[in-house]
Amino acid sequence: DQQVKQNSPSLSVQEGRISILNCDYTNSMFDYFLWYKKYPAEGPTFLISISSIKDKNEDGRFTVFLNKSAKHLSLHIVPSQPGDSAVYFCAARDNAAGGTSYGKLTFGQGTILTVHP
């Protein structure tokens, strides 16, 4: 059972416009969420994160929004640039401190973002 889902396999946007990548989760024990970006032939790189006690975190052109009641998070990229074209993974940390799941990280399937010049 996929506990973290990215239902859009791909997204195409025009340079300068907003990119919105979505992620849904089912496990209420997740309390820390992250986005990673991955270029071909490289490992994922950390992009931005958000704790469950917040509903928004911003870093330059990247903003992550968390809606706990809907178990939904999204990544907004504004403005989008061609260099943003990559696979984006959302991930959730099961932070049951002291429990056997502490340290587990669950990823979504990924969304391929293509930004056209």
Partner 1 sequence: EAQVTQNPRYLITVTGKKLTVTCSQNMNHEYMSWYRQDPGLGLRQIYYSMNVEVTDKGDVPEGYKVSRKEKRNFPLILESPSPNQTSLYFCASSSTGTDLGTQHFGDGTRLSIL
User: How many residues belong to the site for partner 1 (CB under 8 A)?
Assistant: 25
For the CA atoms of the chain, what is the radius of gyration? Answer: 14
Instruction: Tell me: does residue 93 bind partner 1 (CB under 8 A).
Output: yes
- Identify residue 8 by its one-letter amino acid code: S
C-alpha to C-alpha distances, 64 to 40, 96, 98, 107, nearest whole angstrom: 23, 23, 28, 16
Region near partner 1 per CB under 8 A, out of 11-19, 63-71, 77-85, 87-95: 87-95
The DSSP letter of residue 16 is T
Is position 110 an interface residue for partner 1 (rule: CB under 8 A)?
yes
Residue numbers at the binding site for partner 1 (CB under 8 A): 4, 6, 32, 34, 36, 41-46, 49, 89, 91, 93, 100, 102-110
